[in-house]
């Protein structure tokens, strides 16, 4: 059997290679380290953790990344097995001894008879005779390969920095303050004239928001990142530094909008949120990319009227990164539509985080192995954490014309990516739940549904979408996504 080539022995590539070999298919794993390193890797080991040593929450019942851990365990993940075996104390998080973790992943791959390891850099598009390739070269893909992918996919299809605006769960926005309206009620192609959620600020609220922005603690760029400020995607705090009205003439301009809650009263500034996923559960804050520290973002953004109780699916950021415009370029099994012998996995597909990268590697490996073996292989259902993440990458994000070519930005797994429950969970006595109790119950129902559906999918059984309803919660916290250090 011809081998599958995996390029990059990071979180995604290591997991992909393991999944392929575990299915009896030979694999060649190409890794350029230690011959050539990136700006952040320090070793030649596989699955090196370049920054924090945390896989974030391990709570599979109430946390989307904890659910992803559990799903990966059930799918035979090498990354999770090595993480569990090298756990260090970290409360509810799964943190690992980074050296022990990487050594275990490396040893498992080196020992597998179907894994052939090549310590080489693939500096151009893989040769035509490699008929099945997974590119998992990560956020710091070497320049030669990145340039070749850029040429193959088109000028704006590969980004080298992310410019992330915060994303809010739709049901946490106070619609007694905010309202739906497109600027000048513009319908446009595919719009309704009421596509944006608008949050109004009066003069005093705007000034207080500006002061908080300017005083907020910021994350600095690493030396090797060389601050990439383009006028099209300036962080809001940098815009605020340029003058008191810059934001009012930029992303917070109040024109073409009328507040139905205060007829006749023109807002001094308006923050707009645009739908981010097809499900309509997530809205991004338009033009609000920011380098403020995560805790500061939460505090400052909740000063915006209507967002006082906002729950954030993603907070803002600006980093050196390499990622594809995947919803346009990749098919449902992560193949490049224009060159299907190439599959992508990991951070380069637009997921974010160690665990998410490994999970997408797991899926890419399984897709490629099934294809090689001539077997049918269905993607996981979108009700699972794997399926929700995959669906987001390969099509769940909605791109609006005015959002520009890079509206797709990296994303951690979060509950906003899951299809909503058909029925709201109720308490043991059948009563409607409210507030935190409701949030916790919803999360338990979503995770329970996910695990039932994952097990059925893994056994090749048809998936029933609405398996679980009305679960009674055990305590947990809700609100802000856990940040990882970057
Ligand atoms: C500075 C920084 C800090 C981060 N911190 C965190 C964090 O704390 N927590 C978190 O969850 N996520 C973090 N991330 C995000 C991301 O999840 C990790 O980068 C993760 O390692 C991505 O997994 P990956 O497999 O896609 O890429 P990587 O793990 O980076 O693996 C890619 C591999 O490909 C190799 N490679 C690259 N080009 C080539 C080539 N042409 N030929 C052969 N091999 C090649 C690289 O050497 C590397 O081993 C961080 C990212 C960066 C850049």
DSSP 3-state of 435: helix
Q: What is the mean pLDDT of residues 449-466?
A: 86
Report pLDDT for 203: 97
Which of 5, 10, 352 has the most ligand 1 atoms within 8 A of CB, as the residue to mutate?
A: 10
Residue 14 Cβ inside 6 Å of ligand 1? The answer reads no
Which sign, positive or negative, has the C-alpha torsion 148, 151, 154, 160?
positive
- Secondary structure (H, E, C), 356-421: HHHHHHHHHHHHHHHHHCCCCCCCCCCCCHHHHHHHHHHHHECCCHHHCCCCCCCECCCHHHCCCC
Rounded distance from Cα 154 to ligand 1 centre (Å) = 23
Q: How confident is the model at residue 166 (pLDDT cuts 50, 70, 90)?
A: very high
Integer Cα distance of 29 and 210 in angstroms:
50
Mean pLDDT check: name the lowest of 38-52, 135-149, 422-436: 422-436
Rounded distance from Cα 114 to ligand 1 centre (Å) = 24
**Residue 231 pLDDT > 90, yes or no?**
no
Q: What pLDDT digit, counting tens, does each position of 375-412 carry?
A: 988 999 999 999 999 999 998 666 554 555 467 888 89
- Percent of the chain as helix, strand, coil, to the nearest 5: 35, 15, 50
Tokens (6 digits) for 153:
């996919």
**Residue 222 pLDDT > 90, yes or no?**
no
Give me the chain's average pLDDT, please.
90
Q: Which residues on adjacent β-strands are paired with residue 117? A: 29
Residue 5 Cβ inside 6 Å of ligand 1? The answer reads no
Rounded distance from Cα 257 to ligand 1 centre (Å) = 43
The burial class, CB within 10 Å (0-12 / 13-18 / 19+), for 128 is exposed
Q: How confident is the model at residue 486 (pLDDT cuts 50, 70, 90)?
A: low
Helix (H) or strand (E) holding 273: strand 269-275
Rounded distance from Cα 345 to ligand 1 centre (Å) = 11
Q: What is the mean pLDDT of residues 171-177?
A: 97
Which of 11, 30, 50 has the most ligand 1 atoms within 8 A of CB, as the residue to mutate?
A: 50
**Residue 81 pLDDT > 50, yes or no?**
yes
- What is the pTM assigned to this prediction? 0.86
Mean pLDDT check: name the lowest of 14-23, 229-238, 450-459: 229-238
Report pLDDT for 408: 85
Q: What is the mean pLDDT of residues 306-325?
A: 91
Q: How confident is the model at residue 475 (pLDDT cuts 50, 70, 90)?
A: very low
Rounded distance from Cα 265 to ligand 1 centre (Å) = 50
Q: Whose CA is nearest to atom 53 of ligand 1?
A: 139
Q: Dmax over Cα atoms in the chain, in whole Å?
A: 74
Q: How many CA atoms lie within 13 A of 49 on its CB side?
A: 26
Integer Cα distance of 124 and 431 in angstroms:
61
């Amino acid at each position: 059997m011809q081998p599958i080539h995996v390029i990059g022995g990071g979180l995604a590539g290591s997991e992909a290679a393991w999944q392929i070999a575990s299915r009896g298919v030979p694999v060649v794993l190409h890794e350029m380290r230690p011959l050539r390193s990136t700006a952040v890797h320090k070793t030649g080991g596989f699955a090196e953790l370049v920054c924090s040593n945390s896989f974030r929450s391990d709570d599979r019942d109430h946390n989307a990344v904890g659910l992803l851990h559990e799903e990966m365990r059930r799918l035979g993940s090498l990354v999770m097995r090595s993480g569990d075996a090298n756990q260090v104390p970290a409360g509810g998080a799964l943190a690992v001894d980074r050296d022990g973790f990487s050594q275990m992943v490396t040893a498992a791959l080196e020992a597998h008879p179907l894994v052939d390891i090549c310590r080489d850099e693939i500096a151009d598009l893989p040769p035509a005779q490699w008929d099945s390739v997974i590119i998992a070269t990560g956020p710091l893909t070497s320049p030669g390969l990145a340039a070749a992918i850029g040429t193959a996919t088109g000028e704006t299809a590969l980004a080298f920095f992310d410019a992330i605006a915060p994303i809010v769960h739709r049901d946490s926005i106070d619609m007694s303050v905010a309202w739906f309206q497109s600027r000048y009620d513009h319908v446009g192609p595919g719009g309704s004239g009421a596509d944006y959620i608008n949050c109004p600020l009066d003069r005093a609220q705007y000034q207080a928001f500006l002061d908080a922005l300017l005083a907020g603690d910021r994350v600095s760029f690493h030396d090797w990142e060389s601050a990439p400020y383009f006028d099209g995607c300036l962080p809001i705090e940098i815009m605020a530094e340029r003058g008191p009205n810059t934001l009012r003439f930029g992303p917070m301009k109040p024109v073409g909008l009328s507040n139905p809650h205060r007829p006749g009263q023109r807002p001094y500034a308006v923050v707009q949120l645009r739908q981010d996923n097809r499900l309509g559960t997530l809205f991004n804050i338009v033009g609000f990319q920011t380098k403020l520290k995560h805790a500061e973002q939460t505090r400052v953004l909740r000063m915006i009227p209507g967002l006082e109780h906002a729950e954030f699916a993603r907070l803002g950021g600006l980093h050196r990164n390499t990622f594809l415009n995947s919803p346009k370029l990749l098919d449902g099994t992560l193949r490049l539509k224009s060159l299907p012998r190439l599959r992508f996995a990991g951070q380069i597909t637009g997921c974010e985080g160690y665990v998410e990268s490994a999970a997408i590697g797991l899926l890419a490996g399984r897709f490629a192995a099934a294809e090689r073996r001539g077997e049918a292989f269905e993607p996981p259902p979108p009700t699972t954490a794997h399926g929700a993440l995959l669906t987001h990458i390969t099509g769940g994000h909605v791109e609006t014309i005015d959002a520009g070519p890079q509206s797709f930005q990296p994303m951690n797994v979060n509950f906003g990516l899951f299809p909503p429950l058909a029925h709201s969970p109720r308490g043991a006595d059948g009563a409607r739940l409210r507030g935190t109790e409701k949030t916790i119950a919803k999360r338990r129902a979503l995770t329970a549904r996910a695990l039932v559906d994952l097990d059925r999918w893994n056994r090749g059984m048809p998936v029933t979408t609405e398996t679980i309803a009305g679960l009674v919660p055990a305590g947990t916290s809700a609100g802000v996504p856990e940040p990882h250090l970057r």
